[in-house]
């Protein structure tokens, strides 16, 4: 195996060993499950309401026949709406997380502890010695 290939494999092994790869994998799995929720929101709630305005129950039924080809532009509209809703939800989540981190960073540091009894006594002794 060449030096470049072994270096590539070593770099890949280091990448896989990092914790954030596992975080990314969990995110992908949750994102897949979340897409089912989004699809249900679009198909079961949004599309029937929009279907009232288009005289059809679902955008998926919208199609254009050009010769033998059928262009199902309704599916495309549905996919765009899915994307926009998903992007909006992700935007709201990121905004909430950023707001949480900003509040955490803006919190004032705790005040420094006052001098201990020992330090106070030594300060008094120092002041008395200065006065003499």
Our CA dihedral for 99, 104, 107, 111, rounded to 10 degrees, sits at: 180
Q: For the segment 10-28, what is each residue's pLDDT rounded down to a tens digit?
A: 887 777 777 677 777 777 8
Q: Per-residue pLDDT for 1 more than 70? A: no
Split at pLDDT 50, 70, 90, the class of 43 is: confident
| Domain map (residue ranges) of the chain | 3-109
- Would you identify the CATH topology of the domain 3-109? 1.10.1200
As a whole number of angstroms, the distance between CA 127 and CA 32 comes to 71
94 in the Ramachandran plot: left (φ > 0), alpha (ψ -120 to 50) or beta?
alpha
Backbone CA torsion sign across 35, 36, 41, 44: positive
The mean pLDDT of 79-106, rounded to a whole number, is 81
Q: What is the pLDDT of residue 58?
A: 65
Position with higher pLDDT, 89 vs 123: 123
Alpha-carbon Rg of the chain, whole angstroms?
A: 31
Instruction: Round the average pLDDT of the chain to a whole number and report it.
Output: 80
Q: Per-residue pLDDT for 47 more than 80?
A: no
């Amino acid at each position: 195996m060449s030096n470049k290939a072994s270096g590539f494999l070593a770099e890949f092994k280091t990448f896989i060993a990092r914790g954030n790869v596992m975080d990314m994998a969990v995110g992908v799995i949750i994102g897949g499950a979340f897409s089912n929720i989004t699809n249900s929101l679009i198909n079961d709630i949004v599309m029937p309401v929009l279907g009232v305005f288009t005289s059809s129950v679902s955008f998926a039924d919208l199609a254009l026949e050009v010769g033998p080809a059928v262009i199902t532009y309704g599916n495309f509209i549905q996919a765009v709406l899915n994307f926009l809703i998903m992007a909006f939800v992700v935007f709201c989540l990121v905004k909430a997380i950023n707001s949480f981190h900003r509040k955490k960073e803006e919190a004032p540091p705790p005040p420094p502890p006052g001098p201990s009894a020992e330090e106070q006594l030594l300060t008094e002794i120092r002041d008395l010695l200065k006065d003499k």
